Structures are given as structure tokens and as C-alpha cells.
């Protein structure tokens, strides 16, 4: 009996400390400045415990009942505290009030625990033994928790599930107390039921922890998330709202099904339709297969090679029932060969020339992707281009990232290519830029394939006209040893993003 | 950090925390967003790291020193016009230039199983990596021999353009200071105004030195006469430390940065290095060089080309144990063969020469800097914060020189695994003591020191390293101490014996590729004159 009582002290002390650590660590993760976060969380928490201790004087009767009730409430509130805080951060802008509110609430409840427990034990032991033992086990529990937290809980369970696990401990203490103090607890059956129910809720939380956190992720996207997948290289998220599907890679919008036809028709046809004899086409990037869908509208094309780094991406767009209708099953067309390889390395290691090459990489937002926008890369691409062929490059926005766009143009020129810049309006992206490049002069096409929704023969030449606010600005070419483009891009988009 | 990017960070965090895997904590640091002290404990358990000492020549060198290699065995005799002893950059360059002069009948004798000297490299499943010299600054237009070699290997194009893929990719360097990485090498985060003023004053000084034309690479091209030269020669009488004090430089960041440079290029501290040599490091090359050139395996790339050209004229694992004069000719004894030749180009370190050519007295003494180079294989990238990974990653205040990433020059998108080459010039004790210490210190001592050094910037580095190999260079390079110019002058025309020519960066007094190559080329020219062309 005694051992059980003091084990209870030990456990509730550990739970109390864990909630405090969870709140401190979580606030540090999302807000940074860990010294401030830990200091204010600990201060608030200790002060709230003081309030709890003070409030304990007002509990006169039914001390055991109150104790069991407090254990249940602490278990639920503390257990779900990490999840609640994550959701608050992603969905609302009231993170700090909720943080300190939750910390205060848990602190008050934990502050009530020990005084109540001491009063329960008062009649069983001498006063000096109660104080000595309770405080001893309180501190022992705190030590255990503070060691367990960084060494085991966070690396193994993560913050959300650590909190849930200790919520479960609190609830089990409540259940155990209904047995320990059964003589002083009216409505014992009722409290046992409540304990089991709470335990069930927390256990479900533990079990479904991951699903719940992806719920939090939805807060990052405008529309409901219908698919989220981590591949080796990136996180793919697909959202859906009515008939509009949106694809995000690492949080960046890649396309919206409502208007992607504008982007992909503009990327492919002005260049490819100007090459009526084109048979072999290479696509670098573009694992969604949407550019390939446009390419296959040209009956003369016999062979399309798609080189995309991410097998997870291409297999998703070759098989997923919501995605294959978007690219008309292009990735399973017999004319299409899908290769999962690094484009730079693949071009290095393979021979062969193509009549038309589509380059559709993510924007040059870091030095790694930036390598795929360098003169060294375009020189290599040029070696794979038929003498009278063209390449078409997605080249970010000439309106939002004007110097970046013209830097890409300058880079292509630096690789010895003639350039033919153009742009198109895509509602979900804004004004978007492309460049056709080759070693021969370019003439807009006289015909276009059937089945286009945006481009017209008359409209194509107009794409090459740049209004005053998108016209060329001085820009350096991007080189492997000096990636000016990444710096331009970072500066220009930083000026736009809020 | 704005709320938007915090939210993006949170998204990764949620994913990382929800997956209750041992690697759950990895996602935290990868973003560099948080630096909570609490995070330090959140790592998975340390793992066993394999590795050991990779240096092998030491044993042969010591056997040679102690006379444990039989001087003359019953081995085959080979004949050649010229025997080159030592297959480092100067020896290989001597052979390369003899070929250019039409004199193809030479043999190169190398002690180690592989040529390259301190420009050797290694390779594992992840990447090739250097064991020593790992880059080449862009040569000035008048560095004709370096340029000729670079044209030969396809790095310098006919139109004067350097191959973009060989130029060090961006970002080139970063420095870890005040708990985070910063772009560039200058430790100027939150530097006070008076320090910045000293930096500016030093920049102006370097510009003036450069303007004077007294500092050139290679050294032999520099004018030795003239008032500007005389003025700068006075610098060679004192150490860099004395010069800095005399000129009122007190900035700790500037001093650290200068010493980083002298440790990096010369294996010498400010209190060891000649002020002239230190000035040469900063003023010897154009200000905006746009380089350097580098390869995953470092300068071993160039060595491999020269080795290929040498073909079967390169005899490896053939330590020279004696040079023997026979009439007007020479016999070079090695355990593998005896080479009879008209001339010997001594391209091995100078200090070895008296051991194989009894009676020869070196006209100068040479202090050799001990170095330690380690290659660490990582199976994932450790946590860090601040500026993105660069080629050269330097830790402010560290005794090491930081690390170079061998996979940086890859054009592929980054993979998890990489190889880091960690450099350390031992300057904190007399060279002889340092060598004794290198011999005794167990591998585990290096492992712990290296991981502790890197953990400042990458708290979980120990969990990412699978293998750590260490190369101890007892005599890595000649250290340019004061008196360098007089020393070089006295070696300039020195012949150890008739028909024996010296060619090693030791002759220049500092070990850089250009000097080593120049010494080899010059010895080849002298040998050709001596024996009458090809």
C-alpha cells in the first residue's frame, strides 16, 4: 500500500514535468529563441502551480473525488496539449495566448495534486513522514521525467505522442486511485468508467497520432489534403477543392488542375509545333506527365524520354486514379520512356540527340536546383540537341522575379544558344516566363495540334511581346562557380512574399 | 524568421515528430530553424565508427631512416638518361617537362605504392576524396606551365575559359561563428567598428603589396631587385606576428583570419611564419580570381593525369636507398631495381638526401610542418543552422582548418551520403615534438578530437559518421620561416653533386602546386642542358 502510494506521487510528478517540458520545447520549435520560451513557460507554470496550491484550501470536502477528477482532467488536457498547440499554431494566430493558457491550466491542476494527496495521506502517516516522503518522490519523479524526456521520449515518440503517453499515465493514476482510496470515494463505478473512457480517448490519440498531425498540415494548405506522401526527395501533397486539384512539392504549388493547361500548352507547343519534323523529344523534370501529355498531341512524335529524379512522383502520376486523368495516362503511353535519374548526371552519361527538349525544373530557389540553371548545364543540354532543334525552359516569372528571368535568358546565351523569350498568364501562378533556345532562328508555328484549350496560331507570336514592366533588365549569367540566379531569385521573391 | 516559413518548418516538424522513428529528431535540425539547448539531447544513440590510420609511407620512411632497407640487393639493372627520385608533384612535373623537351628516356622512382606525394587522394563507394592538397588557384596569365598542364587535362579551353565544372561551385566557403554558419570566410559577424577599420587598413596594405609586383607565383618570376622588392624583402627578417604588432594590428578576428591563411597554405602560425611569406599568401595572386579549381579527389586529379603520362616509367614502391657515383654516371639503388643514369633529379624532400648520398651537406635547414588530414564518410547530413553547406567549411576559433566536402563538386542533386576532409596543421608545438606526438597518439584520440571539433557546428555529427580515416603527415611541407628568401637564394644554384639536381617545393621553401611544378620543370631543363637534350 505505501509503495503504491508513493509510486503514485512519483508518476504524477513526472507527468507534471513532462507537460512543462513539452510546452517549452514546442514553443521553442515554432517560435525559436528557446531561452525565452523555456523561461516564460517554466515561470508561468510554476506560478500557476502556486495558484493551484493556494486554491487547494478551498476544497474542503470530497478530497479523494477531487483528486481523481483532477487526474483525469490533467491527463486529458496535458495529454492533448502538444497536439492542441501544433494545431493552434498552424490554424490560428493566437498561439501565444493559447500556449500560456494551457500552461496555466495544467500548472493550476498540477499545483492542486500534491496538497490534495498530502491531505489524503495525512491520516495514514505522521505529518513529518508525509511531507518527507511525498516531496522525496515528487523530486525523484521529476528527475526521471527530465532524463526520460530528451533521451527517450522526444527521439522515440515525438512531442505529440510523449504528451499523450503521459496523459495516459495520469488517467491510469486516476483509475488506480479509485482502487487505492475505494473506501473514501463515492460513485466509485462512475469514476472508473470515466477513467477508462479517458484512457480510450488518449489511446486513440496515440494510435492515430500521425493522422492527426497531418490534419494539422491541412491548415497549411488552402484546400483539403487528399494525398500526402514523402518520397526520397520531397514531400508531395495533393489538395482538392471541387474540381480543382493542386499539387505542392515541399509546400510549393506546382500546378492547379483548373489552369495548368495554360502553363503546359505554352511550355510545349510554341517550340514543338515550330518543328514539324520532330520525332524524338526529351523532358527533363516534369514528373507529373502534363508536359508529356501536350507533347503526345503531336502525331509526328515517336519517342518521348522523361528524366525525373523522383520515382515516387512519376509512379504516382502513372498510377493514381485521381492523377492519371490529368495527364491522360501519358506516362503509360508506349511512346513514353520514364527514367528516374538525376538530369545532370543522366545527360553526362548518355549519348543521343533530341529534336525538342523540355526543361521543367522547380524554380532556382537554392544552390542545388540552381545547378540545373547554369551555363554548364545548358552547354551539356546543347550537346543533346539536334542541330535544328529547340529547347524550351520554364524560367520563373518575368514579372515577380524579373532579373531572375533575364538571368536565365543570359545564361542560355552564355552557353552559346540563341534565345526567344516569351510569357503567358496562368491565373494560379500569375505572369509566367519561358525561353525557347537553339542554334538556329525560331519562327512561330503556322499550325498547332488539335485539342488545345488556350493557344491559337494567331496568339503564339503575341506571347513573345513583353510589356514595359517585364522587359529585359541587366542580369549576369548563372554559373556553377557563381550562382547569381539563386541570389536574384531569393531577393526578388523575398520582396513579394509576406 | 517570418511566420510563413515557420509554418513550413512546422510542417516538416510534425512529420518528423509524428514518425516515432529513431531518426525522428533529424528533421529538426535539418531546417536550421531552432537552436534550443534542449535539442542537444534529442539525438539517437552514438554508433560505432570504423577507421584507422591510412598513412603508409611513414613505415617505409622510418625503415629507410633506420637503415632497415637493404641497400643493395640482387635486383635487375635498368638504364635511363635521367632518374627522377620522388613521385610528388615536382618529380612528376620534371618527367612531364622532360617529355616536352623531347627527352623521353627517364625513370621515376617513388617510395610509396602510389605517386602523388602530398597531392594524393583516395576513393570509396561514396566519393573520391583528397589526402592532402585539394585545390589550385586560377593561374595568372604568365604561369605558363600551370596553364599548359590545365590545357592538357581539358580544364583550360582554347578560348581562355576555365571549365565551369572544375571551378569551385557556389557557395564556396562559409564560416561558423556565434552559433551559426555565415557565408564567406571572414569572421565579421557583429564585428565592432575598430576591428572593421583594421580589416580595411589591411586590405589597403595587401593592395599596395600586390601593386608593387614583388609577390609572384611561382616565386622565381618575382623581381629580386628594385626598391619595391628590397622593401618587401625586409619583411622576411621578421615573423608575421612581429610585423602585425609593429603595425598596430590588434583585431582578434583579423589575426585569426590571417593565421587561418598561414596555417592553411604554410602549416605555420603567425609566430612561426615569415612576414614576407604571409604577405605573399595574400598579395601573390590577383584580387578577384574567380576560382579556385578543384576536384572531388583534390589535386590527385592532376597527379593521376601525370601518372598516366608517365606510364611504365613510373616505378612505385621503390624507395631510393642510395645514390652511387660510377664514373661520370649515377646508380640509383632501390629494393626493386638499380637504375643507371646520366643525371639524377632529386624530387623527394631535401632532408632525405643526406641519408642516401653520404657526405652531402645541405646548405640550409628546413623546418617541416606536421599535418593531420582525416576523411570522414557520412551516411546522412548532420544538423546545422545558418548559411547553406559550402565547399570549404571553416570553424572560427578552431585549431583545425575545418572541412572540405568531397561531394560539393558533384553536379547531381544532393544525396544523403558524403565525404568530408578535415584538415589540421599542427602549429601549437615545436615540429619535432609534434611528430613524436603524432606517432604516439592513438586513432581514437583523433576520432574524438575531430568529432568534438565538428560537433560545435553539427551537434549530431557523431551519429552521421560511419568511417573516419586519418593520415598523419610528419613532414607535410617546408615551413616558410623568416630567412626564406636568403634560403631560397642559397639553394637556387646548389648542386649536391655533379649530375644531381634538386627539384622539390622544399627548394622554394613553401609547398604549393605552382612552386612544386616550377621546381620540377626547372630541374628538367637543367638536366636536359646537362646531358645534351633529347
B20, B40, B170: residue with CB nearest A481: B170
Q: Give chain A positions within 8 Å (CB) of B41.
A: 150-151
Mean pLDDT within B425-441: 94
What's the CA gap between B217 and B221, in Å, rounded? 7
* CATH number for position A6: 1.20.1250
Mean pLDDT within B260-282: 94
Q: Which of B411, B416, B417, B459 is most worth mutating to test chain A (most A CB atoms within 10 A of its CB)?
A: B411
B420: closest CA of chain A, how far (Å): 18
Given CB atoms, is A129 within the 8 Å cutoff of chain B? no
- Residues near A89 by Cβ (< 8 Å), separated by ≥ 6? A30, A95, B6, B7, B10
Residue A254 within any structural domain of the chain: no
Contact check, Cβ <8 Å, A28/B34: yes
What's the CA gap between A458 and A446, in Å, rounded? 9
Contact check, Cβ <8 Å, B25/A155: yes
Number of domains in chain A: 2
Mean pLDDT within B330-335: 93
Contact check, Cβ <8 Å, B25/A161: no
Question: Is the per-residue pLDDT at B23 higher than 50?
Answer: no
What's the CA gap between A445 and A276, in Å, rounded? 9
Q: Give chain A positions within 8 Å (CB) of B18.
A: 158, 160-161, 209-210, 213-214
Mean of the per-residue pLDDT values of chain B: 87
Mean pLDDT within B31-36: 29
Question: Is the per-residue pLDDT at B57 higher than 90?
Answer: no
What's the CA gap between B63 and B61, in Å, rounded? 5
Is A328 exposed, middle or buried, given 0-12, 13-18 or 19+ CB atoms closer than 10 A? middle
B8: closest CA of chain A, how far (Å): 7
Same domain? For A145 and A204 the reply is yes
* Grid coordinates given for B47: 554508433
Pairing of strands B180-183, B128-130: unpaired
| Chain B, nearest residue to A205 by Cα | B18
The C-alpha cell 604577405 sits at B279
Question: Is the per-residue pLDDT at B41 higher than 50?
Answer: no
| Among A residues 462-481, those touching chain B with beta carbons less than 8 Å apart | 479-481
Pairing of strands B314-315, B106-109: parallel
Same domain? For A302 and A166 the reply is no
A157, A344, A480: residue with CB nearest B412: A344
Same domain? For A388 and A487 the reply is yes
Same domain? For A371 and A277 the reply is yes
| Chain B, nearest residue to A234 by Cα | B12
Query: Where in the sequence is the domain holding A415, given as residue range(s)?
Result: 259-496
**3-state DSSP call for residue B167?**
strand
From the list A288, A355, A360, A363, the catalytic residue is A360
Residue A224 within any structural domain of the chain: no
Q: Give chain A positions within 8 Å (CB) of B172.
A: 481
* Stronger pLDDT, A230 or B21, i.e. the higher one: A230
Q: For position B15, what pLDDT does the model report?
A: 40
Same domain? For A391 and A482 the reply is yes
| Among B residues 281-310, those touching chain A with beta carbons less than 8 Å apart | 290-291
Same domain? For A291 and A194 the reply is no
Residue A253 within any structural domain of the chain: no
Q: For position B152, what pLDDT does the model report?
A: 97
B513: closest CA of chain A, how far (Å): 21
| Among B residues 386-405, those touching chain A with beta carbons less than 8 Å apart | 388
Split at pLDDT 50, 70, 90, the class of B17 is: very low
Residue A243 within any structural domain of the chain: no
A64: closest CA of chain B, how far (Å): 36
CA angle B45, B46, B49 (to 5 degrees): 150
Same domain? For A44 and A137 the reply is yes
* Chain-centroid distance, C-alpha B180: 27
| Chain B, nearest residue to A498 by Cα | B4
Residue A350 within any structural domain of the chain: yes
The percent of residues above 90 in pLDDT, for chain A, comes to: 62
What's the CA gap between B57 and B92, in Å, rounded? 18
Question: Is the per-residue pLDDT at B144 higher than 60?
Answer: yes
CA angle B450, B452, B455 (to 5 degrees): 110
Split at pLDDT 50, 70, 90, the class of B16 is: very low
Mean pLDDT within B184-212: 92
Split at pLDDT 50, 70, 90, the class of B11 is: very low
B14, B34, B412: residue with CB nearest A32: B34
Q: Give chain A positions within 8 Å (CB) of B7.
A: 89-90, 220
Same domain? For A268 and A159 the reply is no
Residue A334 within any structural domain of the chain: yes
> Considering A208, A227, A249, which residue would you say is the last residue of a domain?
A208
Tell if the pTM clears 0.90, that is, is over it: no
Q: For position B287, what pLDDT does the model report?
A: 67
Q: End-to-end CA distance of chain A: give it in Å, rounded.
A: 61
Q: For position A217, what pLDDT does the model report?
A: 57
Residue A216 within any structural domain of the chain: no
| Chain A, nearest residue to B414 by Cα | A368
Contact check, Cβ <8 Å, B10/A309: no
Contact check, Cβ <8 Å, B170/A480: yes
Q: For position B20, what pLDDT does the model report?
A: 34
Q: Which helix (H) or strand (E) holds A336?
A: strand A336-339
* CATH number for position A335: 3.40.50.150
Q: For position B21, what pLDDT does the model report?
A: 34
The question of whether A360 is a catalytic residue gets the answer yes
Q: Give chain B positions within 8 Å (CB) of A216.
A: 10, 14
Split at pLDDT 50, 70, 90, the class of B72 is: low
B57: closest CA of chain A, how far (Å): 36
| Among B residues 329-368, those touching chain A with beta carbons less than 8 Å apart | none
A34, A86, A479: residue with CB nearest B36: A34
Q: For position B288, what pLDDT does the model report?
A: 64
Q: For position B33, what pLDDT does the model report?
A: 30
Q: Which of A480, A488, A495 is most worth mutating to test chain B (most B CB atoms within 10 A of its CB)?
A: A480
> Distances from the Cα of B139 to the Cαs of A456, B89, B143, B156, B523, in angstroms?
54, 16, 6, 10, 21
A90, A93, A345: residue with CB nearest B411: A345
pLDDT in tens, chain A (498 residues): 577 878 888 898 899 899 999 998 888 766 656 778 889 999 999 999 999 999 999 988 888 899 999 999 999 999 999 888 877 766 666 788 999 999 999 999 999 988 988 888 887 888 888 888 888 888 999 899 999 888 888 767 777 888 999 999 999 999 988 888 888 888 888 999 999 999 999 998 888 766 666 665 555 666 666 777 777 777 788 887 777 889 988 778 889 999 999 999 999 999 999 999 999 999 999 999 999 999 999 999 999 999 999 998 999 999 988 889 999 999 999 999 999 999 999 999 999 999 999 999 999 988 999 999 999 999 999 999 999 999 999 999 999 999 999 999 999 999 999 999 999 999 999 999 999 999 999 999 999 999 999 999 999 999 999 999 999 999 999 999 999 999 999 999 888 765
Q: For position B32, what pLDDT does the model report?
A: 29
Given CB atoms, is B168 within the 8 Å cutoff of chain A? yes
> Considering A208, A227, A248, which residue would you say is the last residue of a domain?
A208
A-B CB pairs within 8 A amount to 154
Given CB atoms, is B170 within the 8 Å cutoff of chain A? yes
Count of alpha carbons within 13 Å of B181, Cβ hemisphere only? 25
Given CB atoms, is A105 within the 8 Å cutoff of chain B? no
Residue A249 within any structural domain of the chain: no
Contact check, Cβ <8 Å, B168/A481: yes
- Which tens digit of pLDDT belongs to each residue from B341-368? 999 999 999 999 999 998 899 999 999 9
Structural domain spans, chain B: 1-45
Given CB atoms, is A233 within the 8 Å cutoff of chain B? yes
Contact check, Cβ <8 Å, A29/B36: yes
Q: For position B219, what pLDDT does the model report?
A: 63
Given CB atoms, is B6 within the 8 Å cutoff of chain A? yes
Mean pLDDT within B204-208: 93
Contact check, Cβ <8 Å, A371/B411: yes
Q: Which of A213, A221, A237 is most worth mutating to test chain B (most B CB atoms within 10 A of its CB)?
A: A213
Q: Give chain A positions within 8 Å (CB) of B170.
A: 367, 370, 479-483, 486
Contact check, Cβ <8 Å, B36/A38: yes
3-state SS of A211-273 is HHHHHHHHCCCCCCEEEEEECCCCEEEEEEECCEEEEEECCEEEEECCCHHHHHHHHHHHHHC
Mean pLDDT within B270-292: 86
Amino acid at each position: 500500500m505505501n509503495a503504491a502510494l508513493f509510486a503514485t506521487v512519483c508518476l504524477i510528478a513526472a507527468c507534471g514535468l513532462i507537460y512543462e517540458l513539452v510546452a517549452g520545447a514546442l514553443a521553442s520549435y515554432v517560435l525559436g529563441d528557446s531561452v525565452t520560451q523555456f523561461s516564460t513557460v517554466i515561470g508561468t507554470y510554476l506560478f500557476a502551480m502556486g495558484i493551484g496550491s493556494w486554491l487547494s484550501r478551498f476544497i474542503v470536502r470530497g478530497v479523494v473525488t477531487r483528486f481523481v477528477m483532477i487526474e483525469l482532467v490533467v491527463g486529458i488536457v496535458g495529454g492533448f496539449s502538444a497536439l492542441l498547440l501544433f494545431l493552434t499554431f498552424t490554424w490560428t494566430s493566437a498561439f501565444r495566448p493559447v500556449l500560456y493558457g494551457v500552461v496555466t491550466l495544467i500548472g493550476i491542476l498540477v499545483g492542486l495534486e500534491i496538497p490534495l494527496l498530502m491531505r489524503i495521506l495525512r491520516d495514514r502517516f505522521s505529518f513529518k513522514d508525509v511531507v518527507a516522503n511525498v516531496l522525496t518522490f515528487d523530486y525523484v519523479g521529476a528527475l526521471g521525467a527530465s532524463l526520460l524526456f530528451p533521451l527517450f521520449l522526444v527521439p522515440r515518440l515525438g512531442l505529440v505522442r510523449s504528451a499523450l503517453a503521459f496523459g495516459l499515465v495520469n488517467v491510469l493514476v486516476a483509475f488506480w486511485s479509485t482502487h487505492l482510496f475505494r473506501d473514501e470515494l463515492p460513485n466509485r463505478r462512475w469514476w472508473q468508467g470515466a477513467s477508462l473512457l479517458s484512457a480510450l480517448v488518449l489511446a486513440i490519440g496515440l494510435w492515430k497520432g500521425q493522422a492527426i498531425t497531418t490534419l494539422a498540415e491541412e491548415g497549411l494548405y488552402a484546400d483539403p489534403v487528399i494525398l500526402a506522401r514523402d518520397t526520397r526527395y520531397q514531400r508531395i501533397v495533393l489538395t482538392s477543392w471541387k474540381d480543382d486539384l493542386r499539387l505542392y512539392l515541399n509546400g510549393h504549388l506546382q500546378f492547379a488542375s483548373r489552369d495548368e493547361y495554360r502553363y503546359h500548352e505554352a511550355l510545349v507547343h510554341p517550340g514543338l509545333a515550330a518543328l514539324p519534323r520532330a520525332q524524338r523529344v526529351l523532358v527533363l523534370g516534369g514528373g507529373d506527365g502534363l508536359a508529356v501529355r501536350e507533347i503526345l498531341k503531336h502525331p509526328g512524335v515517336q519517342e518521348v524520354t522523361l528524366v525525373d529524379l523522383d520515382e515516387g512522383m512519376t509512379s504516382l502520376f502513372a498510377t493514381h486514379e485521381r492523377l492519371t486523368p490529368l495527364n491522360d495516362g501519358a506516362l503509360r503511353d508506349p511512346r513514353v520512356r520514364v527514367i528516374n535519374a538525376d538530369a545532370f548526371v543522366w545527360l553526362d552519361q548518355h549519348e543521343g540527340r533530341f529534336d525538342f527538349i523540355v526543361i521543367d525544373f522547380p524554380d532556382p530557389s537554392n544552390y542545388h536546383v540552381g545547378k540545373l540553371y547554369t551555363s554548364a548545364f545548358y552547354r551539356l543540354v546543347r550537346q543533346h540537341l539536334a542541330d535544328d532543334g529547340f529547347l524550351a525552359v520554364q524560367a520563373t516569372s518575368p514579372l515577380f522575379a524579373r532579373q531572375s528571368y533575364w538571368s536565365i535568358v543570359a545564361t542560355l546565351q552564355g552557353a552559346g544558344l540563341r534565345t526567344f523569350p516569351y510569357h503567358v498568364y496562368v491565373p494560379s501562378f500569375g505572369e509566367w516566363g519561358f525561353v525557347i533556345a537553339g542554334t538556329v532562328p525560331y519562327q512561330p508555328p503556322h499550325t498547332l495540334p488539335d485539342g488545345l484549350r488556350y493557344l491559337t496560331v494567331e496568339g503564339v507570336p503575341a506571347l513573345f511581346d513583353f510589356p514595359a514592366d517585364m522587359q529585359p533588365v541587366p542580369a549576369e549569367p548563372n554559373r556553377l562557380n557563381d550562382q547569381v540566379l539563386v541570389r536574384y531569385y531569393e531577393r526578388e521573391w523575398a520582396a513579394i512574399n509576406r | 524568421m517570418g511566420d510563413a516559413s515557420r509554418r513550413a518548418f512546422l510542417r516538416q516538424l510534425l512529420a518528423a515528430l509524428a514518425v516515432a522513428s529513431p531518426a525522428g529528431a533529424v528533421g529538426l535540425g535539418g531546417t536550421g530553424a531552432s537552436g534550443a539547448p534542449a535539442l542537444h539531447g534529442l539525438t539517437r544513440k552514438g554508433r560505432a565508427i570504423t577507421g584507422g590510420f591510412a598513412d603508409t609511407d611513414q613505415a617505409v620512411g622510418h625503415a629507410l631512416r633506420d637503415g632497415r632497407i637493404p641497400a643493395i640487393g640482387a635486383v635487375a639493372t635498368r638504364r635511363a638518361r635521367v632518374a627522377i627520385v620522388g613521385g610528388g608533384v615536382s618529380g612528376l612535373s620534371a618527367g612531364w617537362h622532360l617529355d616536352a623537351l623531347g627527352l623521353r628516356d627517364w625513370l621515376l622512382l617513388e617510395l610509396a605504392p602510389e605517386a602523388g606525394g602530398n597531392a594524393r587522394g583516395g576513393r570509396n563507394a561514396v566519393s573520391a576524396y583528397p589526402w592532402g592538397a585539394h585545390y589550385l588557384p586560377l593561374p595568372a596569365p604568365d604561369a605558363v606551365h600551370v596553364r599548359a598542364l590545365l590545357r592538357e587535362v581539358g580544364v583550360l579551353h582554347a578560348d581562355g575559359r576555365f571549365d565551369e565544372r572544375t571551378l569551385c561551385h557556389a557557395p564556396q566557403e562559409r564560416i561558423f561563428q556565434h552559433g551559426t554558419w555565415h557565408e564567406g570566410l571572414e569572421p565579421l559577424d557583429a564585428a565592432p567598428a575598430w576591428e572593421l577599420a583594421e580589416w580595411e587598413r589591411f586590405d589597403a596594405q595587401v593592395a599596395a603589396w600586390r601593386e608593387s609586383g614583388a609577390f609572384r607565383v611561382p616565386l622565381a618570376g618575382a623581381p629580386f631587385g628594385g626598391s619595391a622588392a628590397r622593401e618587401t624583402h625586409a619583411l622576411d627578417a621578421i615573423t608575421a606576428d612581429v610585423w602585425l604588432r609593429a603595425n598596430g594590428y590588434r583585431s582578434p578576428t583579423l589575426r585569426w583570419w590571417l593565421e587561418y591563411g598561414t596555417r592553411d597554405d604554410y602549416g605555420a602560425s603567425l609566430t612561426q611564419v615569415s612576414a614576407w611569406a604571409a604577405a605573399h599568401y595574400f598579395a601573390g595572386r590577383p584580387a578577384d580570381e574567380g576560382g579556385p579549381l578543384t576536384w572531388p579527389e583534390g589535386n590527385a586529379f592532376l597527379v593521376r593525369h601525370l601518372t598516366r603520362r608517365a606510364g611504365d616509367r613510373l616505378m612505385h614502391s621503390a624507395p631510393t636507398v642510395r645514390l652511387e657515383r660510377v664514373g661520370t654516371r649515377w646508380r640509383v639503388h632501390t629494393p626493386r631495381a638499380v637504375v643507371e643514369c646520366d643525371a639524377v633529379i632529386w624530387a623527394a624532400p631535401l632532408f632525405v638526401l643526406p641519408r642516401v648520398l653520404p657526405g652531402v651537406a645541405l646548405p640550409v635547414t628546413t623546418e617541416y610542418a606536421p599535418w593531420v588530414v582525416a576523411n570522414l564518410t557520412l551516411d546522412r547530413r548532420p544538423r546545422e543552422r545558418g548559411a547553406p553547406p559550402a565547399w570549404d567549411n571553416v570553424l572560427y576559433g578552431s585549431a583545425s582548418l575545418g572541412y572540405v566536402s568531397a561531394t560539393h563538386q558533384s553536379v547531381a542533386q544532393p544525396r544523403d551520403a558524403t565525404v568530408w576532409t578535415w584538415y589540421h596543421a599542427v602549429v601549437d608545438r615545436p615540429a619535432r615534438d609534434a611528430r613524436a606526438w603524432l606517432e604516439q597518439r592513438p586513432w581514437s584520440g583523433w576520432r574524438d578530437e575531430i568529432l568534438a571539433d565538428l560537433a560545435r557546428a553539427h551537434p549530431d555529427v557523431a551519429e552521421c559518421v560511419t568511417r573516419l580515416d586519418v593520415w598523419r603527415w610528419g613532414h607535410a611541407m617546408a615551413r616558410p620561416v623568416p630567412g626564406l628568401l636568403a634560403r631560397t637564394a642559397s639553394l637556387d644554384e646548389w648542386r649536391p653533386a655533379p649530375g644531381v639536381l634538386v627539384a622539390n617545393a622544399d627548394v622554394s621553401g613553401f609547398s604549393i602546386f605552382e612552386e612544386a611544378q616550377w621546381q620540377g620543370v626547372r630541374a628538367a631543363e637543367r638536366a636536359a642542358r646537362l646531358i645534351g637534350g633529347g
